[in-house]
A and B are shown apart, each in its own frame.
Chain A
Amino acid sequence: GESVGLHLPTLSVQEGDNSIINCAYSNSASDYFIWYKQESGKGPQFIIDIRSNMDKRQGQRVTVLLNKTVKHLSLQIAATQPGDSAVYFCAESLKNTGNQFYFGTGTSLTVIP
């Protein structure tokens, strides 16, 4: 199977600071990536996605960067808020696998007030 890994299992940031969560993937054929947020007691929620023909995509307070050369994905959260505390997963989808995604183990983000 595919390997989707996260560099750090936990991350603590001060409220108001920017957060960066990293993800490595191993298959250069992956063409679609998604970041999910999972709060305690809830299922994963879609945050932002990016296709392999893009390097950067911005949402509201979030930015995803894709570096295909080193197979690296990152999620940047601006002005981190207490409500951002959650586990963040990256997921990759491979070409020709329909809609099947492979998930990383997750990074737990804690925002310190």
Chain B
Amino acid sequence: ETGVTQTPRHLVMGMTNKKSLKCEQHLGHNAMYWYKQSAKKPLELMFVYSLEERVENNSVPSRFSPECPNSSHLFLHLHTLQPEDSALYLCASSQLYRGDYGYTFGSGTRLTVV
């Protein structure tokens, strides 16, 4: 275990469904992130929760909605997704301003939109 747990590991959903991805970190970090990983593309930062403030990437469609109820938990709510949203969604955490070690990633949720 890396200290960052993501559930579910796999998710298949229709375009009209609503689902949520969950991330939990057990490292005492103060920042959490959602990344999208598509084939042959760099990791795309979607959302950041940093010191309990949300930093949003404006290019993320509104059909993705993050929620961070506390410093240990992060959710990504999904609704009316498109097939091109199929990807691996990675959660990460870090300790801000320590400057070392970067992110600790979870194993990801493999999302397939049908």
Q: Which residues of A contact B (CB under 8 A)?
A: 4, 9, 32, 34, 36, 41-46, 49, 89, 91, 93, 98-106
List 13 extra interface pairs beyond A46-B104, A99-B94, A99-B95, CB under 8 A.
A32-B99, A34-B101, A36-B102, A43-B105, A44-B105, A46-B103, A93-B102, A99-B96, A99-B97, A99-B102, A100-B45, A101-B102, A101-B103
Whose C-beta in chain B lies nearest to the C-beta of A39? B107
Q: Which residues of B contact A (CB under 8 A)?
A: 2, 4, 6, 31, 40-43, 45, 48, 50, 90, 92, 94-97, 99-108
Using Cβ atoms and an 8 Å threshold, which residues of chain B touch A32?
Answer: 99, 102
A89 near B43 with CB under 8 A, answer yes
Give bound CA distance, A4 to B43, whole Å: 11
B42 near A41 with CB under 8 A, answer no
